Every structure is written in C-alpha cells, then in structure tokens.
Amino acid sequence: MHPMLNIAIQAIRRAGNFVVKQYELFDKNSVQSNHINNLISKINKESYYIITAIIRKFYPLHTVINTWNVRDINDVNCKESVLWIIGAIDNDVNFIKQFPFFALSISVFIKGHIEIGVIYDPIHNELFSACRGKGAHLNGYRIRVGTAKNLHRAIIAISCSYEQQHMTINLLSKFSNKCAYFRYTGSTILDLAYVAVGRVDGCVSIFFKKINYTNKLASGFLIIRESGGLIIDFTGTDNYLLSGNIIAGNVKIIRTILSIIQII
C-alpha cells in the first residue's frame, strides 16, 4: 500500500468515528434551526483537525486544504506541492435529518495530479480508495464499474448541488421514458463511489462551480477512473470541472446517457 494512502485511510477512519458519535448524539428536534449550521461547522472543523493532526505527524511539510483555507489546485504554487484536500461532510442535510447517506473524503495531489483518493461512509463502515495506476478498492477488495450495456434495467443516480436543484426535474424529464430506475441520495461523492463499485450504473450530476466543491469531488473522479469507468461532461469532453456537470459510468452507459441529455 502506498504510504500516503495508508495515512489517508488512518486519518479518515479516525475522523469518521468522531462523526458517527456526533450523528448518534444529534437530536434534530432539540437543536434550534438557527444553530444547526454552526453545529455542522463545528463538526466539520473538528473532523478536519483530526485528519490534519495525523497528516502533519507523518508529513509536516505537506500542504493541507479544506473548506476554510481553500486553494485552486490549478494554481502554479500548488503544482509544486503535495496537497491533501479534505472534504467536509457530504451531504450535511442528510446528516442533520439523520438520513444515513453521507461521507468524508481525502484527495492527495502531487505536482498538480491526483494520486490518491479516499471516500469514507462512516455509517456503513465502507471505505472506497484508489491510488493512481493501482486500481480502486472497497474495504481492501478490488472493485469495478458495472457492465450494463443499456438503460433498460440500469440504475442512474441523479445529483445536483443545492444551488442547482431546480435542474433535477429537467434531468428526470429527459430520462423518464428511457430509464426505469433512479436514485437520489443527496451525496454526489457517494454516488460516484457507488458507480465505481457497480451499485449504480451511471451518475449524472450538476454541481455549483466552487473551488471547494470541485476539489471535494476529486477523490470520486479518481476512484471511478481506477475502477474502469469514465467521466465526461454534457458536451462529451473531459472539461467537467469547468462546465460544472458530469456523466460517469462505463463507456456504453455514458454514450447512451449523453445522447439523451443532448436531445433538445
């Protein structure tokens, strides 16, 4: 195992244990609505501190990025560094409502290229990981994308960021007569992981083009590629970080989804 992947797994599991304890203690009926965001922010910050402390213990000279000190990974200075990008809880609304689908993530960039990606679902104790060129794994076992060739019995995950949720109806209307099964977990990072392991056959997502959000999804992109899947945008190119939309899955499913989305 790559030594940095080992540290990433150790760190995210430790933070996940903390998040689960907060989830179990969380009483959504007793917390005032105007205090919920502050509470989630505190939980995110504490999980960040837990992860950062472990990273800095082994790699004190590496740069650590999170929601509060976000930097663009395409920045010239970033390309000369080893960057650890820590994602906040995705989806925090699921956490608040105690809908058990959310995850933490860590990505490691070396000289501008993602080398390691980790996604941890602490509720179900599922850890998805990938190291560039070494394949993708779930709890240590190798995973591959599904083999569906068409949408007849395929499951497609639809996800949109909060700011783009109105687009969900448009997406569903395009697929209504082509695909029988849809899933909306509310967590894009988990949707990407589920594509990688073959639980869903494709993922269609529209996300808000904020640096911290695209950074957070990087681990999912790597895990899908290392599981044999592909990611493109709605124009069929790999400019999904710029366009703010993605299609993920195996080659045949992606082609089918793209042909439907591009129908005017």
pLDDT digit string (tens) for 122-160? 999 999 999 999 999 999 999 999 998 888 888 989 877
Beta strands in 91-176 (DSSP E): 103-110, 113-121, 126-131, 136-138, 141-142, 155-160
What is residue 243's predicted lDDT score, i.e. its pLDDT?
Answer: 78
pTM beyond 0.85, yes or no? yes
pLDDT tens across 158-181, in order?
877 655 666 666 666 767 667 668
* pLDDT, the chain, mean: 85
- pLDDT band for 36, please (50, 70, 90 cuts): confident
238 is in an annotated binding site: no
Q: For residue 90, say whether it is annotated as part of any ligand binding site.
A: yes
Q: Which of 123, 124, 93, 90 is nearest to 105 (CA)?
A: 90
| SS3 of the chain: helix, strand, coil, percent, to 5 | 40, 25, 35
Distance from C-alpha of 9 to C-alpha of 22, rounded to nearest angstrom = 20
| pLDDT in the model for residue 76 | 43
Q: How many CA atoms lie within 13 A of 178 on its CB side?
A: 16
Per residue in 65-82, pLDDT tens?
886 665 555 554 555 589
Res 264: pLDDT: 46
6: pLDDT strictly greater than 90 = yes
Run of H or E including 225? helix 211-226
114 touches 107 (CB < 8 A): yes
**CA separation for the pair 239, 79 (Å, rounded):** 19
